[in-house]
């Protein structure tokens, strides 16, 4: 059976001036799809197998292409909006016909020339469309282990919980608020550490490395802030955690560890007003 939205090997059943008509290997000509002439390999012959992607053209007819799209069924990808209209947005997915992202599948405002993480699905009219509602497409069986560093895309933010991340644009992940330092928005690419692999397979994430690795980066952040502020900063052990998080994008515990490192290296001194460079 010819599968819409997937790469597959199909067999040439007949050759015409329009191109090659393809069927499933050993299948019947009752279901065939056209591969346009300009994409038919030279010296192609009846019975040859060709790997193609099947979608629908502007007239809703099945069409095959040897081009590999940026997105197939069951996958997620970050695609660019090339146009918008009353029915939705159109995305560049590497094929002649742009991919429609219907209004009802948009989780936020979509703008031309910007990129969004989307999945591919078949709508009620048997057409391929994009969706920003990707949570149902994410998998819970990642190959990752605790403390591995991975990349992902933030696809939803809940102010009471944290940022939901599509790890490797494929697996379910969440950065809880206590691990979410800094300002982020939907669509941001992030480098995160696997803090925990839950029993249900979902991933708990952190924007920070393990403490003994993160301390180097934190110390450098504090030292750079000192340089920017003429060697003095009004922060110390008495500073509020919220204030530390806002200024340095780290917890107060991490701040104290980094300050301790800088003290040990004799790069700073603690004063009544805060800390200063030595």
Q: Among the residues of the chain, which ranges form H helices?
A: 211-228, 241-248, 252-264
| Among candidate residues 190, 204, 208, the one with its CA nearest the CA of residue 248 | 208
- Residue 224 DSSP symbol: H
Tell me how many degrees the CA angle 209-212-218 measures, rounded to the nearest 5: 65
Judge if 126 and 144 occupy the same domain.
no
122 sits in which H/E element: strand 115-122
Mean residue pLDDT of the chain comes to: 90
Q: What does the pLDDT read at residue 14?
A: 92
Exposed (0-12), middle (13-18) or buried (19+): which is 98, by Cβ within 10 Å?
Answer: middle
| 36 belongs to a structural domain | yes
| 150 belongs to a structural domain | yes
CA distance 45 to 232: 77
Residue 87: CATH number of its domain: 2.40.50.140
Q: Strand 76-84 to strand 33-36: parallel, antiparallel, or no bridges (unpaired)?
A: unpaired
pLDDT at 63 exceeding the cut of 70: yes
| 159 belongs to a structural domain | yes
Structure pTM? Answer: 0.71
- In the chain, the percentage of residues whose pLDDT exceeds 70 is 98
* End residue of a domain, out of 151, 179, 206: 206
Judge if 233 and 195 occupy the same domain.
no
Q: What does the pLDDT read at residue 221?
A: 87
- Residue 170 DSSP symbol: T
Judge if 149 and 183 occupy the same domain.
yes
| 221 belongs to a structural domain | yes
Judge if 56 and 112 occupy the same domain.
no
| 219 belongs to a structural domain | yes
| 240 belongs to a structural domain | yes
Q: What does the pLDDT read at residue 212?
A: 61
| 71 belongs to a structural domain | no
Judge if 256 and 271 occupy the same domain.
yes
Exposed (0-12), middle (13-18) or buried (19+): which is 61, by Cβ within 10 Å?
Answer: exposed
* End residue of a domain, out of 160, 178, 206: 206
Judge if 197 and 220 occupy the same domain.
no
pLDDT digits (tens, 9 = 90+) for 218-275: 888 888 989 999 899 999 888 888 888 888 887 888 888 888 889 888 888 888 888 9
* End residue of a domain, out of 184, 206, 228: 206
Judge if 131 and 183 occupy the same domain.
no
Residues whose CB falls within 8 Å of the CB of residue 111, separated by 6 or more in sequence, listed in order: 81, 84
pLDDT digits (tens, 9 = 90+) for 141-178: 899 999 899 999 999 999 999 999 999 999 999 999 88
Judge if 218 and 273 occupy the same domain.
yes
pLDDT digits (tens, 9 = 90+) for 190-203: 999 999 999 889 99
Q: What does the pLDDT read at residue 184?
A: 87
Dihedral sign (CA 16, 20, 21, 26) = positive
| 266 belongs to a structural domain | yes
Tracing tokens 């709508």 back to the chain, one arrives at: 123
pLDDT digits (tens, 9 = 90+) for 81-95: 999 999 999 999 999
| Among candidate residues 75, 79, 77, 103, the one with its CA nearest the CA of residue 89 | 103
Q: Which domain holds residue 27?
A: 7-65
How many Å from the N-terminal Cα to the C-terminal Cα in the chain?
Answer: 74
Domain count, the chain: 4
pLDDT at 79 exceeding the cut of 90: yes
With beta carbons less than 8 A apart as the criterion, state whether 4 and 122 touch. Answer: yes
């Amino acid at each position: 059976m010819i599968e819409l939205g997937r790469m597959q090997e199909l067999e040439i059943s007949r050759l015409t001036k329009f191109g090659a008509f393809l069927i499933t290997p050993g299948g019947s000509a009752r279901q065939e799809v056209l591969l346009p002439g300009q994409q038919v390999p030279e010296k192609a012959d009846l019975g040859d197998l060709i790997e193609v992607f099947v979608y629908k053209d502007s007239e809703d007819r099945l069409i095959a292409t040897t081009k590999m799209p940026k997105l197939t069924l069951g996958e997620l990808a970050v695609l660019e909006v090339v146009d918008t209209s009353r029915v939705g947005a159109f995305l560049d997915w590497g094929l002649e016909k742009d991919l429609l992202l219907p209004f009802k599948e948009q989780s936020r405002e979509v703008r031309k020339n910007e990129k969004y993480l989307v999945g591919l699905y078949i709508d009620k009219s048997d057409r391929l469309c994009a969706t920003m509602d990707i949570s149902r497409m994410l998998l819970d069986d990642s190959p990752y282990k605790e403390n591995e560093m991975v990349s992902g895309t933030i696809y939803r933010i809940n102010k009471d919980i944290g940022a939901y991340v599509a790890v490797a644009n494929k697996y379910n992940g969440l950065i809880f608020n206590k691990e979410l330092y800094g300002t982020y928005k939907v669509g941001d690419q992030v480098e995160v550490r696997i803090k925990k692999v839950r029993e249900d397979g979902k991933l708990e994430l952190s924007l920070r490395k393990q403490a003994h690795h993160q301390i180097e980066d934190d110390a450098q952040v504090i030292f750079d802030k000192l340089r920017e502020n003429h060697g003095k900063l009004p922060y110390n052990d008495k500073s509020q955690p919220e204030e530390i998080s806002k200024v340095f994008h780290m917890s107060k515990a991490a701040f104290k560890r980094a300050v301790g490192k800088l003290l040990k290296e004799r790069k700073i001194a603690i004063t009544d007003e805060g800390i200063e460079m030595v």
